[in-house]
Amino acid sequence: MKSYKKSWLIVLVTMFLLFLVACGDGGETDSTEATGEDNEDTATPATDSETEEQGTRTVTDAMGNEVEVPAKPERVIGSYLEDYLIALGIEPVAQWSVRDGEDVQDYLQDDLEGVPTIPSELPYEAVTSFDPDLILMDSASMVEDNKYNQYNKIAPTFVVGTEENNDWREKFQIIAEVFGMEEKAEEVLAEYDTKAEEAKEQIQASIGDESVAALWLFADTFYIVSENLSSGDLLYNELGLTTPSVVSEISETTTANWSEISLEKLAELEADHIFLVNSEDGSSVLEDPIWQNIPAVQKDNIYEYDRSASWLYGGPIANSQMIDDALESLVE
């Protein structure tokens, strides 16, 4: 009997010890969940366990740099990428500007009010003064001549695209991946696509195959938008509007968003509607007979905006505002 009791006691002690070990394992799991750390994959390439423990994620940029991005960046500089950041709900610590801060992206100022400016050329001293924890560069040209290493010493630096004019949708999705906000980007794009498709139907029902052009008047010189870039991409590809032959011709030989167009070439512009971004006050060019003879001018189908409008830019917010302008101007 004593032997039986002794054996049973050993079994109980063993079971109790196993129970304590199991509780210990569960406690470690709970503490990991409480800190918000996990082992799920994030941006491509997937993060490794070491960087996750440090609160960062490793992502590869357009130049092949492996960048350790903070899990939740709080002080972001993304010069000329503010449209995309705001669309994701991210407020940068500084915003793009030229002419000593006099010129900014006016169409974004409802969201960027109070955000200090930074020169478009991003001097190292100015960047450092904002103490960023992440720097986004629009294109590889912004970090040429060893500039990347200099910026990367200030904060982790991610280059979004290799070209100066990258597809705005792709750019938006890449930026979203950097922040782990892919689902948010898909929501924004889905809402935008619905808006664009509805606008396309309304505009085409209103003007049919009448042609449309976008011009920019600056320093008494006209610039015309490319067929596949900036507002041209919106007009001709997303809204499916008819492209004037002059626009197609110029677009074949340029890589710029906006290309200078001579008055002689302007005389060939058979556009029925013109969106005009006028950065001039009282320019005499608009009195020139060549301008006056354009079909859109004769039909009084000129829709004029100052340089504070979004027509010179691109991105989910800029494009959405341009759709609003197009609907207001072209649909009766």
State the pLDDT at residue 54. 61
The CATH number corresponding to 196-330 among 1.10.287.70, 3.30.460.10, 3.40.50.1980, 1.10.4160.10 equals 3.40.50.1980
Tokens, residue 14: 């063993």
Tens of pLDDT along 5-58? 344 344 343 444 333 334 444 443 333 333 333 333 333 433 443 445 468 999
Q: Where in the chain is the domain with CATH 3.40.50.1980?
A: 49-180, 196-330
Q: Where are the alpha helices (DSSP H) in the chain?
A: 2-34, 49-53, 82-87, 109-112, 124-129, 147-154, 168-178, 182-207, 230-232, 245-251, 263-266, 289-292, 295-298, 316-330
Tokens, residue 190: 């889905």
Q: Which CATH class is domain 49-180?
A: alpha beta
State the pLDDT at residue 42. 31
Dist CA 108 CA 112 (whole Å) = 6
CB 251 within 8 A of CB 236: no
Closest CA to 95 of 127, 61, 140: 127
234-238's contacts with Cβ under 8 Å and 24+ in sequence apart are: 234/196, 234/319, 234/322, 234/323, 234/326, 235/275, 235/326, 238/196, 238/200, 238/319
Q: Print pLDDT tens along the chain (332 aa).
A: 334 334 434 434 344 433 333 444 444 333 333 333 333 333 343 344 344 546 899 999 999 999 999 999 999 999 999 999 999 999 999 999 999 999 999 999 999 999 999 999 999 999 999 999 999 999 999 999 999 999 999 999 999 998 877 789 999 999 999 999 999 999 999 999 999 999 999 999 999 999 999 999 999 999 999 999 999 999 999 999 999 999 999 999 988 999 999 999 999 999 999 999 999 887 889 999 999 999 999 999 999 999 899 999 999 999 999 999 999 999 98
Starting at the edge strand found earlier in the chain, the sheet holding 76-77 runs 76-77, 134-139, 157-161
pTM: 0.82
State the pLDDT at residue 281. 80
User: What residue has token string 């930026």?
Assistant: 175
